[in-house]
Structure 1
Amino acid sequence: MTILVVLETRRTLLETEPTEPGPLDCREEQYPCTRLYSVHKPCKQCLNSLCFYSLRRVYVINKEVCVRTVCAHEELLRADMCRDQFSRCGVAAVSGQCGSLGSSCGKSCGGC
C-alpha cells in the first residue's frame, strides 16, 4: 500500500495541466548569425631584390547558421515580460496610434 502511494505521487509530479507547457516542450531552432573573425594574412613586399613578409590583420565575415534551443515555457515568460514592458505599444496598435510613438515600438516585441 505504501508503494502505491509513492507511485501515485510520482505520476502526479510528471503530469502537467493541459494548458501549461511541460519541461520537454523544447525544440531546436536554426537562425542566421554573422560572425566577424580577425586573422593575420601574410603579405609579401619587395624592394628591388629584397623581399620580406609582413602580417596584416584582415577581418573575415563568416555567415553561419546557428542553433538555439527554444522551450515553450521560456517563450511564455519572455512574452509576458515583453507585454509588461511594452504594453503601450499594444494599446497604440489597437487604437491606430503607432505613429505617435515613433520607432520605440518598432524595436520592441514585433512592433505595432
Structure 2
Amino acid sequence: MPKITFIDAAGTSRDVDAKPGTSIMEAAVQNMIPGIDADCGGACACATCHVYVKDEWLAKLKDKDDMEDSMLDFADDVEPNSRLCCQILMSDELDGIVVSTPESQ
C-alpha cells in the first residue's frame, strides 16, 4: 500500500498508508494528521487541506486545475509547491510522497 509522509511545521514526521485512489486529504483525516482540517470534506471549496509538496514529487502530480488554483488564493503562505491535498489521489507511483503542512495560523 502506498505510503505518505506528513511533516508538520515543527518538523515532526508521520508516515501513513493510503489505498490507491484515496486522496492525501482522506488519508490525513483518517489518521488525524494535525494541520489538515478538510472543512469541506474534499470538495475543493475551502483550502483547509493546503500542503507543500516536496519538489521531487511535483512532476509526478497532475497539474492544478483552475478550481484548485483559485482556492489556493484563500490559503496562507502559498508557495510554488502549494497544493490542496484533496486534489491529489494516491497511486503506486506516489508511494513515499512527502508533504508538509503550513504553520497554523
**TM-score of the superposed pair, with normalisation by structure 2:** 0.19
The structure that has the greater radius of gyration is 1
Normalized per residue, the structure richer in strand is: 1
**TM-score of the superposed pair, with normalisation by structure 1:** 0.18
Normalized per residue, the structure richer in helix is: 1
